[in-house]
Structure 1
Amino acid sequence: MLKRVLCYTLLLGLAVSSNEDVTQPAVSSNEDVTQPVVAAPAGRFRGSILTSLSGNKYAAYKGIPYALPPTGERRFALPEAYPQNEEDVYDASEFGPICFQHVDEVSYGQEDCLFLNVYTPLIDEDVTDAEQKKVLVFIHGGGFVSGASNVFIPGDLVTQGDVLVVTLNYRLGWLGFLRGDPDILPGNQAFHDQILALRWVKANIAAFGGDPDDVTLSGESAGAISVSILSLSPLASHLFSRAILMSGTGFSFPAPPQESRDLLEIVQKVVGCDCVNNTLSCIQRRPAEKFEMIFSYALASKLPSSGDAFLPNPIPVLVNDVKYLDTVGFFNRDYLVSITKHDGYVRINSQFGKLNITSLESSITGISELVQLPEHVGKSLLLEYLKLYEDLEKAVIALNTDYFYLQRSHYFLNVFGKRPNQVAQSVQTNIYFMSFDPAPKFFPKQYAVHAVDLVYLFDIVPKQFLEGAYYLKMEGDLSEDDKVFKSAFIDLVATFLKTGNPNGYLKKEKSVIWPPYDDANKNYLSFSLDPSVRQNLYGERRIIWDQLLPQWKKEYESLQSKQDL
């Protein structure tokens, strides 16, 4: 996928003028080109003026360092804040490097990569007392092994939604998660990067016109998993007030202890430091290119660590401790949780999965390995889906959608449902569940695949999305319906950012009232050009996981026990 990130970045990058800079962040509404300068506590930053896909201008401040380079002795260490610079004006007109990653047998990026980008609406220079705007901080996905902030250009979101958007890089793979010694290999480095970026936003975003006390944290896939885990951390409790989780939560992740050497034992062999007297010194000296991590769901789920200031206990323990959840402010936020209708397609044809579905037998083998079940159980599972979908590909997509996304979303929704009555009465927060259902004409078979919602939220051209995410060499562009839907999706998200309740947009524009999710009604929004509120998303499929699968597992274990005798 990120073999295409560079392509994404190149194609989405917009030319900026080299005109002389101005010394004020405000930009005249009738001025075509300028280089605005913002004076923030972290320093002065010269940005550029970009044009959104819809043709509207906005300001961009790119490649701002929020941490010292995590290189040399700082490799694997927790991030250190980048020092303030009160003298020079920092050129924030170009992106910083992406973080090191290895995709499709090619290495990209570098270790010095902890940069963020700030995008703002233009403010008329005659306005001297502008109200602070809501802020969205977006964390990119990529399975914790790939991805970059540079891809997500929020032109239409900023200009139409009238909000600020911040995107950021964080360390990936072994460089972002290796644990084994609390002093040298503390683990959770990537999450600490994200927290440091949020602290930078808290301290500096007011200078850009944003409200530091009303930040919505969002992410997609591994980015959404990050958001869910940050929602549990006492270190992030005061750094964001709302959250949007798109196709991912991490509440079922095991989170081994911080001092566990499980990852260290793997990486020793990866970088060639196995059987040496001083492994830590050895891995400190290895070139970044040696730290190759290929995505696997089993490995990705083990990357978060526990037993430190970030996560004091394993995630399953924390999500069942209502008092702890209340203490860290988990119930004090509004949440919007979403999946796409065909999220599971990503396991069939992408960097994150290439299942062989040419036959029932090959599908059973691939599914069993993917969901880590014996083939006998995997076969029973797939056959149940084939009763619902006679088409093998659609059955496999539905199965993967449920296993990797729907079930985990329900877990997050149900944790919020544990909110004590006294908390619910004192804090008026809600959680909303959405299925992103439109069938874009630019995608083959019109699947609403994993990450397609990002095409509508950001200025990503469909052709780039098809080639970069799904290896599909074809032309693709937004249809007129797609453009209408993109505008609607941005309005929905912007309304949630501003109020914590998406109904302001829905009631006004679509005459739809979207109730919060609760376990009794299981309300969700089927979001398309004609949105509707429904109950119990794929309830007939949930029965397979909630009732049939436990029964099959029990029967299989019983059979194995008899054979062992």
Structure 2
Amino acid sequence: MRAMLGVLCVAAVFACVAGHGAHDKLHTDGFPAEEPLTVTPSGPVRGSWMRTRRGRPLQAYRGIPYAENPTGPLRFQPPKPIEQYEREVNATVEGPACPQPVIEPDYYVDEDCLRLNVYTPGKKKSSQPLPVLVYLHSGGFYSISGRSDVAGPRYLLDRDLVLVTLNYRLASLGFLSTGDKYAPGNNGFKDQVAALRWVRRNIGAFGGDPARVTLAGCSAGAFSVMLHMLSPMSEGLFHRAVSISGSPISQVAERSHQRHLAERQARLLGCPTDSSKAIIDCLRTVPWRDIGNSLDSLFDFGYDPVLVWTPIVEEDFGQERFIASSPLRAVQEGRMHAVPYIIGQTTGEFFWKAFNVLQNETMTATMDKEWDRIAPISFLLPKEQAKEKAGRLRDEFLGGRGLVNDTFTADGLGKLYGDSLIGFGAHRLANLMSRHSPHKVWYYEFAHVGNRSHYEDPDTKRPVVAAHHDDLIYLFSLPASFPDIAPSDSLDSLTVDRMTALMYNFAKNGDPNPTPGSRQPELAGLRWPAMTPRERQFLRLGDQLTVHSNMFEERFRVWDELYPIQY
């Protein structure tokens, strides 16, 4: 899974927990001898014990099914929620990831993947229900999962909150769209809605407050978070939001279907393409592993475009629609159920994709000679005037020069990748929401360069700049990629404390700033102002926490000129 991350590139109503009295027998490791059992409105769920990085016991309930197995006739259909469990749910071990290519042959992947994990502090009772953080994972809508190896609880659960991570269907199994009644699209997002509805129904049994749910996501998950503020299906299911490095509003064209992808997927697997019914009927019979493993054949240039599947503005075929109108227009017109919102990006984002091109002579020559064809693919440019706009971007970022493997080209091409895939969208989203949301919007740049990164220089084996996903290193334990950051006086350890404190404050109070009198020395002196149209301030999370203005706006100017909108 670490390789895939590199390519793409966080207690019971405690009275309901059985067997945890003050005189329970203890294991030699200090945990109660009994596994924790929580009785939810949907039925009993048995979990296991874990520890946070500071040694605090936590209860882990992993692999809980929230919807029926989406196989057979339920493949390519909206999720069918589970309202009641027939028997006690064994949530003591990790559930499967959804179908995707994996490097390790024994990694647990299965189509029966609509599962979620709940982590809650291990203390016996709390006088007040705890804030809830629901995390939507990254992965371009075609990889990664909500499992604890890529979204572990060992950092955040040092705070008094309940963490939920979840899977949603990926790639064609989650986002196939033929633009008609056979596959209107967005089933992966509808999975997320089903999980949020499960949380609303059951989270109180784990000590969580269903009236204080923060929806957070990174990359594809960040796209998802914003769309939930626009979706008629999601209203009332969450009360704060965090989008880490991702926005569904950017230069990328809005679509009402992706039939070309459905046909391409069908051809790859030997299915007919003469009608939507033929595509769906045939693909329902294909083994899920074949669908998951076909991913690499759906890219056009190396691993570009990073965004293969996109959200669909669904036409009405009588189905419950996740997105019913243009996201951009909905925000501009204030047609959303907005909540307090944090939006962030890293300093470098996808800068490292430049090295994938420049260190491969064939790819460098192809991009250089066929810029008019490749640039719209790699930088997600709409078809309208793509040649002219790609030329302008080459002039602005590369000085109009040919591509060669030097530092100037690497810098310009890295910024092109970072801006087009993440940076410009985050800029556009923050500026739109600070104007049109009735709630406060906080904007940040993650700039800390620690001991580890999702991109490390192949010669020095050291990070060079904060890359896409790097803020997650300090919010979640990520054992698939990195060892835990031990409590110490290191800057990395302090960054964990800062990031989890900001997230906890926001989940608890709807404001990331420390409250007067709070004991948070890691945030001493912090005053992070909300962004406004006139005062476009942001927090830079580097070695220090500092406030600045107008993040990367000189660089984003060309993007705003090429793809103008009314802010």
Q: Name the TM tier (shorter chain).
A: 0.7 to 0.9
Secondary structure of the structure 2 residue equivalent to 1:343: coil
Mean Cα displacement is larger for which, 68-77 or 50-59?
50-59
Q: Any residues of structure 2 matched to 1:96-115 within 5 Å, and which? A: 96-103=95-102, 109-115=109-115
Q: 2:426 aligns with which of 380, 391, 409?
A: 409
Report the equivalent of 2:312: 304
Matched, 1:23 2:25: no
Report the equivalent of 1:449: 467
CA drift of 1:109 comes to: 1.8
- TM-score normalized by the length of structure 2: 0.80
Q: 2:507 aligns with which of 469, 487, 497?
A: 497
Give the residue type in structure 1 aligned to 2:245.
Answer: S
Report the equivalent of 2:140: 143
Q: Any residues of structure 2 matched to 1:324-363 within 5 Å, and which? A: 324-325=335-336, 329-330=337-338, 333-348=339-354, 354-356=356-358
CA drift of 1:408 comes to: 0.5
Seen in structure 2, the aligned counterparts of structure 1 residues 56 and 393 have a Cα distance that, compared at 3 Å, is farther
- TM-score normalized by the length of structure 1: 0.80
Q: Any residues of structure 2 matched to 1:280-429 within 5 Å, and which? A: 280-291=280-291, 292-294=294-296, 296-297=304-305, 300=308, 302-308=310-316, 309-322=321-334, 324-325=335-336, 329-330=337-338, 333-348=339-354, 354-356=356-358, 365=371, 369-371=377-379, 372=381, 374=387, 376-383=391-398, 391-419=408-436, 424=438, 429=439
Give the residue type in structure 2 aligned to 1:313.
Answer: S
Seen in structure 2, the aligned counterparts of structure 1 residues 505 and 249 have a Cα distance that, compared at 3 Å, is farther
Seen in structure 2, the aligned counterparts of structure 1 residues 449 and 348 have a Cα distance that, compared at 3 Å, is same
Distance 1:180 1:457 in 2: 37
Seen in structure 2, the aligned counterparts of structure 1 residues 184 and 438 have a Cα distance that, compared at 3 Å, is same
Distance 1:337 1:380 in 2: 30
Seen in structure 2, the aligned counterparts of structure 1 residues 385 and 301 have a Cα distance that, compared at 3 Å, is farther
Structure 1 residues 291-340: Cα deviation after superposition (integer angstroms, max 9, x where no partner): 22345437535343422421112333333332x22xxx12xx00000111
Distance 1:262 1:216 in 2: 36
Report the equivalent of 2:264: 266
Report the equivalent of 1:469: none
Contact 2:131–2:507, Cα closer than 8 Å, also in 1: yes
Distance 1:301 1:82 in 2: 27
CA drift of 1:221 comes to: 0.7
Higher relative contact order structure (alpha carbons within 8 Å, sequence separation ≥ 6): 2
Distance 2:468 2:75 in 1: 32
Give the residue type in structure 2 aligned to 1:498.
Answer: K
Query: Is the helix fraction higher in 1 or 2?
Result: 1
Contact 2:153–2:476, Cα closer than 8 Å, also in 1: yes
Seen in structure 2, the aligned counterparts of structure 1 residues 165 and 341 have a Cα distance that, compared at 3 Å, is same
Report the equivalent of 1:133: 130
CA drift of 1:239 comes to: 0.3
Which runs of 5 or more residues in structure 2 are unaligned?
11-15, 454-461
Structure 1 residues 43-65: Cα deviation after superposition (integer angstroms, max 9, x where no partner): 10111110123322211001100
Contact 1:68–1:82, Cα closer than 8 Å, also in 2: yes
Report the equivalent of 2:456: none
Distance 2:288 2:156 in 1: 35
Give the residue type in structure 1 aligned to 2:503.
Answer: V
Seen in structure 2, the aligned counterparts of structure 1 residues 147 and 390 have a Cα distance that, compared at 3 Å, is closer
Matched, 1:53 2:53: yes
CA drift of 1:362 comes to: 7.1
Distance 2:414 2:484 in 1: 22
Give the residue type in structure 2 aligned to 1:315.
Answer: P
Give the residue type in structure 1 aligned to 2:18.
Answer: T
Distance 1:2 1:156 in 2: 19
CA drift of 1:512 comes to: 2.7
| Over 4 Å off, 4+ runs | 1-5, 24-31, 103-108, 357-369, 475-479, 505-508
Contact 1:341–1:436, Cα closer than 8 Å, also in 2: yes
CA drift of 1:110 comes to: 1.8
Contact 1:348–1:355, Cα closer than 8 Å, also in 2: yes
Matched, 1:539 2:553: yes
Alignment length (residue pairs):
502
Secondary structure of the structure 1 residue equivalent to 2:67: coil
Distance 1:550 1:275 in 2: 34
Contact 1:113–1:169, Cα closer than 8 Å, also in 2: yes
